């Protein structure tokens, strides 16, 4: 898999900073991060989906390159055309929020 704009690197670095994050790479190169069996982030191609909760997701879909996810109201889909500093900041913050939500789910 090519790393569209560095999203793999950003998400891997964010995961390395958090305890007990599990990682799975499937046969289609889809990457999934979880905590205690609760998936909280998925990178499939150039789209990251993050389980940030309905309140944050509602606000997040109003930011550039972000839309609702087919995974449900807790999730957003983020597909930046360019991973600039603002997009990187959102991706890192949403990954951390999704991780915290996964802890609360266990």
Beta strands in 1-106 (DSSP E): 22-25, 31-35, 38-44, 47-51, 66-68, 75-78
pLDDT in single tens digits along all 106 residues of the chain: 456 569 999 999 999 999 999 999 999 999 999 999 999 999 999 999 999 999 999 999 999 999 999 999 999 999 999 999 999 999 999 999 999 999 887 6
- pLDDT at position 104 is 82
32 touches 61 (CB < 8 A): no
The DSSP bridge partners found for residue 78 are: 48, 66
- pLDDT at position 3 is 62
Number of domains in the chain: 1
Residues for the chain: how many in total? 106
CATH of the domain at 46: 3.90.1150.30
The pTM for the full model equals: 0.92
- pLDDT at position 1 is 46
Which domain, by its residues, includes 32? 4-105
């Amino acid at each position: 898999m090519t790393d569209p704009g560095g999203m793999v690197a950003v998400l891997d670095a964010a995961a390395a900073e958090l305890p007990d994050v599990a990682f799975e790479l499937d046969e289609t190169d889809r990457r999934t991060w979880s905590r205690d069996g609760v998936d909280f982030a998925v990178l499939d191609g150039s789209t990251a989906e993050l389980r940030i909760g309905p309140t944050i997701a509602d606000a997040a879909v109003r930011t550039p390159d972000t839309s609702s996810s087919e995974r449900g109201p807790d999730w957003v889909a983020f597909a930046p055309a360019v991973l600039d500093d603002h997009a990187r900041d959102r991706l890192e913050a949403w990954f951390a929020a999704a991780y915290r939500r996964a802890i609360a789910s266990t």
